[in-house]
Structure 1
C-alpha cells in the first residue's frame, strides 16, 4: 500500500505552493516515515564503495524508492524567483512524479507495499554529490534520478554500485557514466542507429546505402553505429557510401542511383539549414529515382520540416515515444490521471507512469531488478527490452520505426 493520498495541483508560474507540497509528500506504507530533508549531513565515504558491485537486493515486504528530481525548492522562498528554465524543470519533475506515483498507487491496490521518498536535486552538482551520501537513499531498493547527465554522473560516481539507479528521462549513453547498476530507460542514439540499420536490412535489403552528412562531428555516433550494424548484418556485402553534402549538391551521386530499385538514403543531421536545402534537393532527385529516406530521431520534434516533402521521400524515423491514444491501456490511464490530478497528462507524466508500473512491479518479481533483461514490457509511450552491458548496467534497446503517411507519423515496426 501507499498511504499518501495528497493531490498535486496544476503548476503555473505563480502556484509555488505545489513545489512545497511535492517536497513534503513522501509515499509510505505503515509505519509512517518522517519528511526527508534534502540537506542531510554528509557521511564518510567508504573508499571501497566504487569497486564493489553489489547485486540488487529484493525488498523484504516494503520496497523503498528514492526519487531525486530537479524541483528547485530554493526558488519558492520570498526573494528568489524561478527562471523560465527552472520553472520548466520543476514542471517536468512534478509531472513525472505524478505519473510515477499513480503507477505505484495501482500496484499498491493489488497488495504491493512501497515507501516513496522524494528529494530535490536542485539540478546542482553539489546537491547531487551530497544526496549520494544520504543514508536513507543509500539503503533504498531503487533510486530514480538525478534526471540530467551531469547530475547522474556525479551521483553515481559517489554512490558506486550499491543500489540500482534509474536514469528516467535522459538518452545519454551509459558509456559516459559507467556504473554497473545504472538503468538507462530512454534508448541512447546508438540504439536508434542500430534499429534503422536492422529495419533497412530486413525490409529493404538494398545493395547500396547513401549516408548524407553535414560535416558536424555530432553525427559520428549515429554513423559509426549504423555502419557497424549494417556491416555485421550483411557481412559487409551492402555498400555504404558516406558523403558530406554542400549546399544540397547531389549531382555527384546520380551515376550510382537506380531508376527501378529503391535508393536508400540516411541523413543523421539535425542542422535546420542543412536539412532544408538537402531535403529539397533530394525531393527533386526523387522525381527520377525512387527514394526511401531514414532520418534522425529528433526530426519528430522539428516543426520546420515540410510534411509533404517527407511523405514524398517515404521518410522513416526512429522513435522511443509513440502513444496509441485508442488502445485500452492509454484510455484507462488518461481517465485515472484526470481523476487523480484534474489535469491532462504530459509526456513526462506518461513516462513516469510506465516506469513506475514496470519497475514497481519488477521489484517484487523473483529475479527483482537484476532480472530486467529477462522481462520485457509494453508501455503506453514505449516498450522496454533491456540488455545487460558489463560495467554499464541495463539499457533499453527497444526503438520504434515510424513512417510519414497521410501527413502523419505512423508506426511500421
Structure 2
C-alpha cells in the first residue's frame, strides 16, 4: 500500500499544455494512490487505497502490518502553477527533474507492494533558493518522524535543511547531488551519487590493478577546480601501490610536453591523467598528446565531466585510449532495463529520463532496505546493482554513508562502453 501527501503534475515548457499534462499525469499514475490537494506547510490527511498486485514478485514477504513512512523533498516550484506566475527556464528544468525523479521512485515502491510492503509517501515542495522554506520543512513533524527522508536535492538546500534539523527518526538521503558529505557533517546522511574524490579513487584502482604502470603523469592546467581530483588521485595511487608507482605532475603551458620526453617509453603504455575541464586547455593539450602518441603510446584518463563535453571528439579520444569514470551508464538492452521502460511508459505515457531511472533505482534499494531485518544498519553491508549505477556504501565517521562505486568507460567504435 502507498499513500501520498499530494499528486504532482507533469510540467511542460509549453504553458498552454500545462493543465492538459497535469490531467494526463493524474490519469496515467498508478491507481494505488489517490491525489489529495495540499499545501507544503500544512499537509492534508493521507488517503489510501488498497494496492493492486504488481507483476514482479519479491523473494521475501514484508512484516505484516508494518508501514514505512517516506518524506520526499524536491524543488517542484508548485507556486509557479498560479496563472499569474511563470516558470523561468531554470525553474522549469528543476520542476521537470523533480517530477521525473518522483515518478521513477514511486514506480519502484509500487513494484515492492507485491511482497506486502506498505509505504506512506509524503511529498513536499522545496525551492533551492528559499532557505526559510527549507528550514521550515526541517521543523515539520511529518518530515522529522519519517522512516526515510529523501531530499533536498541541491547542496545549498541540503546544508540549510540539516542545519535546522535537530532530530530525525530515519536516515536522510541526498538523492542527486555528488557534493562532498563533509559540507553537511551529519552521521545519518546517505550520499547516493559518488563525490568527485571517488571518481579519482576509481580511476586509480583500475590503473593500479589493470594497467600496472611504473609511472603516471598528471597534466594540470593550474585552475583550482581540478585540484580535488588531482590530489585524491595521487593519494589513492600512493596508497594502493604503496608508493611503488611514481607520480609526475606537470603544469602544462600552451600544450608544451617536451620536458616529459626523457621519461616516456616507446614500447609501454604511457599513462596520463588530465583532471582539467577547461575547454581551451583541453583542446591544446589533447592535440599535443595526439602528436606525442605517434611515437610514445598514450593511455589517457580524464575527468568524469568529459562525458558531457560535445567539443571533445570521439575520434581523438579513441586514438588516445581515453578512459573516464561515470555513475550513469545504462545498458538499454538488459532485461531489467527493458522491463522498467515498458512499465514506466505504461504508467506515465512518457519516456523516462535519467532522473526517472535514478529515482527507480533509489526507490527500489531504500524501499527494500526499510523492510530488511537489519534495516538501515545494513546499508554498508548491502550492495545493489541498479539500472544506472551500482551502490557500494561505506560508513564514514560523522559523515554517514557514501556510495563509492563508479564505472570505468572507454571509447570503442567511437562510443563510450563500460570496461569494468
Q: What TM-score, normalized by structure 1, do the two folds share? A: 0.90
- SS, match of residue 353 in structure 1: helix
The structure-2 alpha-carbon separation of the partners of 1:65 and 1:21, relative to structure 1 and needing over 3 Å to count, comes to farther
Give the 5 Å matches for 1:106-125.
Answer: 106-123=111-128, 124-125=130-131
The structure-2 alpha-carbon separation of the partners of 1:113 and 1:356, relative to structure 1 and needing over 3 Å to count, comes to same
1:85 aligns with 2:90: yes
Gaps of 5+ in 1: 42-57
- SS, match of residue 2 in structure 2: coil
Query: Quick one: distance in 1 between partners of 2:256 and 2:237?
Result: 26
- Residue pair 1:372, 1:386 contacting (<8 A) in 2 also: yes
Gaps of 5+ in 2: 44-62
- Residue pair 1:19, 1:71 contacting (<8 A) in 2 also: no
Which of 212, 223, 238 is equivalent to 1:231?
238
Query: Quick one: distance in 2 between partners of 1:161 and 1:182?
Result: 12
Write out per-residue CA displacement over residues 236-281 of structure 1, whole angstroms, 9 at most, x where no aligned residue. 1111111111111111111110001110000000001111111011
Q: CA deviation at 1:21?
A: 9.7
Query: Quick one: distance in 2 between partners of 1:19 and 1:396?
Result: 35
4+ long deviations beyond 4 Å: 3-10, 18-23, 25-30, 32-36
- Residue pair 1:386, 1:396 contacting (<8 A) in 2 also: yes
1:128 corresponds in structure 2 to 134
Q: CA deviation at 1:299?
A: 0.4
- Residue pair 2:393, 2:403 contacting (<8 A) in 1 also: yes
Which of 282, 297, 309 is equivalent to 1:302?
309
1:99 aligns with 2:75: no
- Residue pair 1:161, 1:180 contacting (<8 A) in 2 also: no
Query: Quick one: distance in 2 between partners of 1:59 and 1:133?
Result: 31
Query: Quick one: distance in 1 between partners of 2:413 and 2:87?
Result: 42
- SS, match of residue 140 in structure 1: coil
The structure-2 alpha-carbon separation of the partners of 1:59 and 1:166, relative to structure 1 and needing over 3 Å to count, comes to farther
Q: CA deviation at 1:103?
A: 0.4
1:253 corresponds in structure 2 to 260
Which of 360, 376, 396 is equivalent to 1:353?
360
Q: CA deviation at 1:39?
A: 2.1
2:48 corresponds in structure 1 to none
1:144 corresponds in structure 2 to 150
1:174 aligns with 2:174: no
Query: Quick one: distance in 1 between partners of 2:68 and 2:116?
Result: 12
Query: Quick one: distance in 2 between partners of 1:404 and 1:364?
Result: 41
- SS, match of residue 195 in structure 1: helix
Query: Quick one: distance in 2 between partners of 1:7 and 1:388?
Result: 34
**Count of paired positions:** 395
1:12 corresponds in structure 2 to 13
Q: What TM-score, normalized by structure 2, do the two folds share? A: 0.89
Give the 5 Å matches for 1:33-112.
Answer: 36-40=38-42, 61-112=66-117
